[in-house]
Amino acid sequence: MLLKAVWFCVGLAGLYFGAGWLVRGAARLARSFGVSPLVVGLTVVAFGTSAPELVVSTVAAGRGNGALALGNVVGSNVLNIALILGAAAVVRPLAVRMALVFRESPMLAAAALALPVLGLDGTISRVDAAILLTVFAGYLAFVVRSARLESAAVGEEFREFQAEEAIERRAEPRDSSRLPNVGWTLLGIGTLLVGAQMMVDSAVFFARVLGMSDLVVGLTVVALGTSLPELATSTVAARRGEADIALGNALGSNIFNVFYILAAAALVRPIAVDPALFRFEVPVLIGLSLLFPLLAATRRRIGRLEGGLLLACYAAFTAILLMR
């Protein structure tokens, strides 16, 4: 038992550091080829913070633990809205641009509603995965196009934030930095893969020992572990007054998780859907996805009161799961 607990913690550390190394190497490598910082922030960094969920879910699906993969996605999405946005708002109230609400809220709701729609037949199939990936490709193209049309002020906000984070610019010439950045990227990918294997192994072990289902373990412990990059990014962004980044990171991760990560896992192996999800977990996710635009539109900000409400929602969600 103790060895498996250590195994889980080492795997968790591998996911955390691996994601950071992947973001560092990939972002600098992209910039060395002339990709704009804003596009890097909306694509490479967003992908990097979602990399733990991607690797854990695909590894779990490939090994026949589809419930763990699905629980990771649903649990991470609940956590992104309730815990991560709640914690960020408590650290510092988040001013919300209505353009962000109008652009992201429909996709946020669609991500939540896609689960009961596609899973109604009891399976997320490879055909369902292809549908999700098609929607995701269209959304990504829209985001990149919108990014290029954003104001110079928003572009500068992303550049300043990235300069303070682990992906800050280096002074050396572009070509001279490519080889070490390829190394950082490969090291990040390798560490993520190893960490995911260790985490899935230990999570399944604890599920068996404690009499918990793979689904519940995925909804709680694994979801929290794989969401650490989003939690760190959003709280740091909130502390620095970068509300757009804190909000975009959390909301964008929800869209990534369903339309990209769940789809990738289902392509590896179709995922059986437990009907019990539609009685509690998925309705909670849909409710939170609809609650966010209401909170944001009320005063065009998510203050500490709203943040406390979201944190209370997450605490109640987790307590009910564990009691069940």
Nearest one of 69, 81, 117, 116 to 277, comparing CA atoms? 116
Per residue in 50-95, pLDDT (tens digit) is 777 888 888 888 888 888 889 989 999 999 999 999 998 998 888 8
Domain count, the chain: 1
CATH number of the domain to which 86 belongs: 1.20.1420.30
Neighbours of 57 (CB within 10 A): 33
CB-CB contact of 83 with 220 (8 Å): no
Q: Quick check: is 262 in a domain?
A: yes
CB-CB contact of 95 with 294 (8 Å): no
Q: Quick check: is 112 in a domain?
A: yes
Which residue segment(s) compose the domain that 60 sits in?
Answer: 37-171+209-323
Please list, in sequence order, all residues whose beta carbon lies within 8 angstroms of the beta carbon of residue 22, skipping any fewer than 6 positions away.
Answer: 48, 51, 184, 185, 188, 189, 192
Neighbours of 163 (CB within 10 A): 11
Q: Quick check: is 146 in a domain?
A: yes
pLDDT for 173 beyond 50:
no
Q: What is the three-class DSSP state of 302?
A: strand
Residue 34: left if φ>0, alpha if ψ -120 to 50, beta else—which one? Answer: left
Q: Quick check: is 9 in a domain?
A: no
Q: Quick check: is 83 in a domain?
A: yes
Q: Quick check: is 244 in a domain?
A: yes
Q: Quick check: is 177 in a domain?
A: no
Q: Quick check: is 279 in a domain?
A: yes
Q: What is the pTM of this model?
A: 0.76
Per residue in 228-262, pLDDT (tens digit) is 777 776 777 787 777 776 787 788 888 889 999 99
Residue 241: left if φ>0, alpha if ψ -120 to 50, beta else—which one? Answer: left
